[in-house]
Chains A and B, each alone.
Chain A
Amino acid sequence: QSVLTQPPSVSGAPGQRVTISCTGSSSNIGAPYDVHWYQQLPGTAPKLLIFGNSNRPSGVPDRFSGSKSGTSASLAITGLQAEDEADYYCQSFDSSLSASVFGGGTKLTVL
């Protein structure tokens, strides 16, 4: 049971928009600690996708965006492409655990 809750899976057709939610609590996202997102392509290590709730590292397309409100955060992907098919993880810090925490991960399927 992860501290941060994500839907196990989402799907969308090419060109569509999908969102992935990440729900926490008052000791992590609501504390408020920043939320970061990672993309993990099959068989590879995770890669930073969004940092500080809504910032994109250099090289990440602007089709990816992040937001945060209260004890939840969201990752939105617009103009879905086949190459976006991957697992996505949110991450934050939890003051009760004094630990970094991850969401359980969401598998994105591009139909």
Chain B
Amino acid sequence: DTAVSQTPKYLVTQMGNDKSIKCEQNLGHDTMYWYKQDSKKFLKIMFSYNNKELIINETVPNRFSPKSPDKAHLNLHINSLELGDSAVYFCASSRQGSNYGYTFGSGTRLTVV
């Protein structure tokens, strides 16, 4: 069973479109994250979220919004996609307040054309 699963794995879309990436974890973790990985493999945290608190990296454009229907899901919605949004997006989860390890999803490669 996949612990953290993201869908889709690949997403090609045109500028200006709105898209969502889904993330689900079956580990019982209560904190989930979204990271953006650039072409140099630098990972930038976008959001961390548990059922009490949403922490947003203030450098993330407000076109990006996390949506969490329940503890096991944290979806990433992107409005008005731009070319610069092309990247690999990783979802991860951990226990709250954690000095424990993270579990990462396999990534979603987003290409905006």
A and B interact physically? no
